[in-house]
Chain A
């Protein structure tokens, strides 16, 4: 068994003058104290990567900087799926008895530490160096390709996609740590600058500074336990040119395996935390995971289904689209928010029932997937 015993999250946006290590340290400090632990209790460290400050041994660099000497430590790289992949690994590590308290941490000054062009350029390198990158694609273009095909096959419109941006912004408006607090409308999304059609500026997540961390432990440290019920991955391709048909993408494979590993059904889920780098990402993943029928996710947004008071509250902190995206930490904010919801600490964002949550992360261009079920135990 394993429990998420503590969580830490900085605000996302601009942290002028903070390095990646500063942001990681701040989040780690919050998570350890949230778990009721001391630094010395941490015997395992898993960290993500920083595009601003790349290093071949980031976990060790962080451990030294933070002042701990873990018995197990290394970095993990699975793009946007890194946070959940680290959580899955931490779960297995504590279950296997390798470590007692694993700190999972990421942080990056991606917004103020480098130019926006540098960020876009660094990320475009997930493309094939000979067969794709010379054509000048960007990450939004990779997802724009997927979007064009998905819209073609399932009759989804640009207005449908805009609904997801509006929803994430509405949620961000209720969280003081979010990067954006101005409400937007479908018309605003439609009128925003074209980036890589059909995706426009407000269909895309921002670049942010921020940090997130959690502690994964063998035993719970508080009264309410948040237990990892089961998780699974799927990796079907790296490059969009080599992607399988839309009907055979990895999210469906990962969720099927996670259901089998946990014995949880989608009908048991009360809260959803789903990767949302672009509006199309969220729309597709919700449908792949079975949280909406094909081509029907936008209608569910319009009906309030994914709202705080809806049947399936989704990314109540605002997601990558509006809380912000600082790299690996970006999607870790989804887990932090889920933990707050499950332990009844989400304040004005608190949902009625978050007893069982489904989390899903995606890395690359729908290349790497991690699905995870969390369960509250008292």
Chain B
């Protein structure tokens, strides 16, 4: 059985960031699975994130490997600690610094929609 319905998120083209919360142990996870990776309980609950967070790390990509991504160079890859408490990779404004409070929007990148954080 499956207790929790899949919410659409940016990885399948929707303007949303989705994470999972385990009802048994409270663990939050960003990479979608049919179980909790901390305690193994089935069917963690899917939740939509607020899109708010803090910059944990940044790397401005100046050399890309495909023609599609090269068109966007330079672009900033960031790790963001969301206000909900999970970490995610996304794009961000090129001048973001570690510790900046940021909010997500969704922008086209290499033929799809990706989360992009701005101050």
- A residues in contact (CB < 8 Å) with B: 117, 120-121, 124, 128, 130-132, 134-138, 140-142, 144-149, 152, 193-199, 239-242
B89 at interface by CB-CB < 8 Å: yes
* 25 pairs, CB–CB < 8 Å, chain A vs chain B: A121-B66, A131-B89, A134-B110, A135-B77, A135-B109, A136-B69, A137-B61, A140-B61, A141-B61, A144-B61, A145-B59, A145-B77, A145-B79, A193-B62, A193-B63, A194-B60, A196-B59, A196-B60, A196-B62, A197-B58, A197-B59, A240-B79, A241-B79, A242-B31, A242-B87
Chain B proximity of A260: nearest CB distance (Å):
27
Measured CA separation A195–B65 after assembly (Å): 11
Residues from chain A with a CB closer than 8 A to the CB of B77 are: 135-137, 141, 144-145, 196
A128 touches B58 (CB 8 A): no
Measured CA separation A128–B31 after assembly (Å): 9
A146 touches B61 (CB 8 A): no
Told that A124-B65, A197-B62, A240-B79 touch, could you supply 16 new A-B pairs with CB distance under 8 A? A131-B89, A134-B109, A134-B110, A135-B77, A135-B89, A136-B66, A137-B77, A138-B61, A141-B77, A145-B78, A194-B60, A196-B59, A196-B60, A239-B31, A240-B89, A241-B89
A136 touches B98 (CB 8 A): no
Q: Which of A121, A152, A241 has the most CB of B within 10 A?
A: A241
Q: Which residue of B lies closest to A121 (CB)?
A: B65
Residues from chain B with a CB closer than 8 A to the CB of A198 are: 59
Which residues 61-107 in B have Cβ within 8 Å of A in the complex? 61-66, 69, 72, 74-75, 77-79, 87-91, 98
Measured CA separation A228–B89 after assembly (Å): 40
B114 at interface by CB-CB < 8 Å: yes
Task: Provide the main secondary structure of the chain B interface.
Answer: strand
Measured CA separation A117–B70 after assembly (Å): 11
Chain B proximity of A140: nearest CB distance (Å):
7
Measured CA separation A141–B112 after assembly (Å): 20
Measured CA separation A172–B82 after assembly (Å): 44
Measured CA separation A132–B10 after assembly (Å): 12
B61 touches A196 (CB 8 A): yes
Residues from chain A with a CB closer than 8 A to the CB of B79 are: 145, 149, 240-241
A137 touches B63 (CB 8 A): no
Chain A proximity of B116: nearest CB distance (Å):
10
Residues from chain A with a CB closer than 8 A to the CB of B66 are: 117, 121, 136
A145 touches B57 (CB 8 A): yes
A136 touches B75 (CB 8 A): yes
A241 touches B87 (CB 8 A): yes
Residues from chain A with a CB closer than 8 A to the CB of B57 are: 145-146, 148-149, 152
Residues from chain B with a CB closer than 8 A to the CB of A135 are: 77, 89-91, 109, 114
A149 touches B89 (CB 8 A): no
Residues from chain B with a CB closer than 8 A to the CB of A138 are: 61, 63-65
B34 at interface by CB-CB < 8 Å: no
A131 touches B31 (CB 8 A): yes
Chain A proximity of B7: nearest CB distance (Å):
14
Measured CA separation A132–B59 after assembly (Å): 13
Measured CA separation A196–B77 after assembly (Å): 9
Residues from chain B with a CB closer than 8 A to the CB of A195 are: 62-63
Chain B proximity of A116: nearest CB distance (Å):
8
Measured CA separation A311–B104 after assembly (Å): 50
B35 at interface by CB-CB < 8 Å: no
Residues from chain A with a CB closer than 8 A to the CB of B72 are: 136
Chain A proximity of B24: nearest CB distance (Å):
20
